């Protein structure tokens, strides 16, 4: 996105949106494939955890078990981390998913750690449009942005639950610099979730169905959800690549809308929903009324 336009709209994104795939020939062999798994904490199954492949949405039974029929276009199976549990992460990068390529004999298990405090009280930070393009940008991120976040987290006090969400344009077309962003996240000492931006896409590979390949290989699914206390966070992809470099529009695909309806069906009516997308919905998404 254009920086100035984004800054003008950020108040709406962070305040007004608080609401009460890669397909290859190999992927088609996954169609109808039954995936089974468990969600456990210290060996004990956790009931009611929402699991999805981006198309089907199911919950675990009273022993923490789930089963779903894998969609042909699914790249991973992901968990909507339930309230009361820590976020699975690697060096701060959220790992709430298991890529299809890493399934072990058609099983996909998740292990969680229960928090020792009430997570209704928590904080989060939005990182928007870092747009890292070169070594100078990387240096500025590491010497200015990272210490700023470190001070903010430290100022919240020891034991404060804190997480971050990067809402797109992590880099400026230089996807190799995802690694630099990852190093920055590792130093901020809080778990970070990622949202796709128009500068985070693979250009000139084809249409929208393959433009997210590198992002998914690095950060997992482009749409998913997680919970903290009575807040349900939803991250979605509203950047539609039009098949030509730098040409895109704001649009939420039907499969995401279908998934969202299923996902929200498991959210209590009195819980807060926080929707995170890159392009401002009210002014930049063509089918915002559908959303």
Q: According to the model, what pLDDT value does residue 1 have? A: 53
Q: What is the pTM of this model?
A: 0.89
- Per-residue model confidence as pLDDT tens digits over 100-140: 988 876 679 999 999 999 999 999 999 999 999 999 999 99
Provide the pLDDT confidence category of residue 273 given band limits of 50, 70 and 90.
very high
Please give the full DSSP string across the chain, using - where no structure is assigned: --HHHHHHHHHHHHHTTEE-----TTGGGGTTEEEEEEEEETTEE-TT-EEESSS-EEE--TTSEEEEEE-TT--EEEEEPPTTBPPPEETTEE--EEEGGG-BTTB--EE--B-SS-SSS-EEEEE----B-SHHHHHHIIIIIHHHHHHHHHHT-TT--EEEEEES-SBSS-GGGHHHHHHHHHHHTS-EEEE--GGGSPPSSSSTTTTTHHHHHHH--SSEEEEETTEEEEE---EEE-SSTT-EEE---HHHHHHHHHHHTTS-TTSEEEEE-SS-HHHHBTTTTT-
Compare 217 and 4 and report the one with higher pLDDT. 217
């Amino acid at each position: 996105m254009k920086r100035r336009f984004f800054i003008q709209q950020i108040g709406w994104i962070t305040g007004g949106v608080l609401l009460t795939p890669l397909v290859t020939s190999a992927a088609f062999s996954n169609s109808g494939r039954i995936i089974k798994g468990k969600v456990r904490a210290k060996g004990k199954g956790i009931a009611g955890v929402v699991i999805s492949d981006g198309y089907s949405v199911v919950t675990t039974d009273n022993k923490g078990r789930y089963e779903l029929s894998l969609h042909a276009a699914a790249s991973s199976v992901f968990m909507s981390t339930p309230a009361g549990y820590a976020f699975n992460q690697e060096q701060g990068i959220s790992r709430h998913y298991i890529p299809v390529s890493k399934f072990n004999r058609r099983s996909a298990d998740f292990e969680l750690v229960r928090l020792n405090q009430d997570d209704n009280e928590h904080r989060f930070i939005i990182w928007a449009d870092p747009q890292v393009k070169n070594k100078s940008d990387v240096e500025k991120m590491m010497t200015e942005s990272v210490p700023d976040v470190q001070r903010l987290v430290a100022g919240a006090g020891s034991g404060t639950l804190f997480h971050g969400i990067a809402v797109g344009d992590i880099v400026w077309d230089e996807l190799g610099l995802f690694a630099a962003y990852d190093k920055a996240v590792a130093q901020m000492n809080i778990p970070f979730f990622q949202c796709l931006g128009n500068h985070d896409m693979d250009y000139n590979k084809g249409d929208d169905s393959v433009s997210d390949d590198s992002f998914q290989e690095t950060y997992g699914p482009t749409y998913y959800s997680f919970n903290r206390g009575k807040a349900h966070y939803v991250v979605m992809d509203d950047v539609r690549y039009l098949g030509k470099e730098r040409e895109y529009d704001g649009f939420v695909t039907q499969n995401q809308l279908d998934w969202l309806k299923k996902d929200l069906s498991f959210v209590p009516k009195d819980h807060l929903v926080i929707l995170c997308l890159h392009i401002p919905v009210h002014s930049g998404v063509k089918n915002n009324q559908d959303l």
